[in-house]
Amino acid sequence: MNTLWKEIRYKMLHSGSKIGLLIGINIIVYVAINVPGVIEWLFTRNNLISYYADEYLLLPAYLPKLATRFWTPLTYMFMHAGPLHIFFNMLWLYWIGQIFEEYLGNKRTIGLYLFGGLTGALFFVLAYNYIPVFAHSNVAVGAVVVGASAAVMAVIVATATLLPDYTIYMMFIGPVKLKWLAIFYVILDFILIAGANPGGEISHLGGAFFGFIYIKQLQRGHDWIGSINKIFKPSPKLKVVSKSSVKNSNDLPRQEEIDRILDKISQSGYESLNKQEKEVLFRASKDNEG
Q: In the chain, what is the straight-line distance between the N-terminal and C-terminal CA atoms, in Å?
A: 32
Pairwise CA distance, residues 57 & 75, whole Å: 6
The CATH architecture to which 10-224 belongs is Up-down Bundle (1.20)
Q: What is the pLDDT of residue 247?
A: 43
* Chain centroid to CA 142: 27
Long-range contacts of 186-189 (CB under 8 A, 24+ apart): 186/157, 189/153
**Domain layout of the chain by residue ranges:** 10-224
- What are the average pLDDT values for consecutive 10-residue runs of the chain, which has 290 residues? 57 72 96 97 95 97 97 97 96 95 92 97 97 92 96 97 93 91 97 95 98 94 75 52 45 68 70 73 60
Q: What is the pLDDT of residue 258?
A: 76
Per the CB < 8 A criterion, the answer to whether 265 and 163 are in contact is yes
User: Which residues have CB under 8 Å from 163's CB, separation 6+?
Assistant: 99, 103, 178, 265, 266, 269, 270
User: 262 to each of 105, 258, 272, how far by Cα in Å?
Assistant: 13, 6, 11
Per the CB < 8 A criterion, the answer to whether 168 and 82 are in contact is no
Q: What is the pLDDT of residue 38?
A: 97
Sign of the CA dihedral running 168, 116, 31, 62: negative
Q: What is the pLDDT of residue 244?
A: 43
Q: What is the pLDDT of residue 90?
A: 97
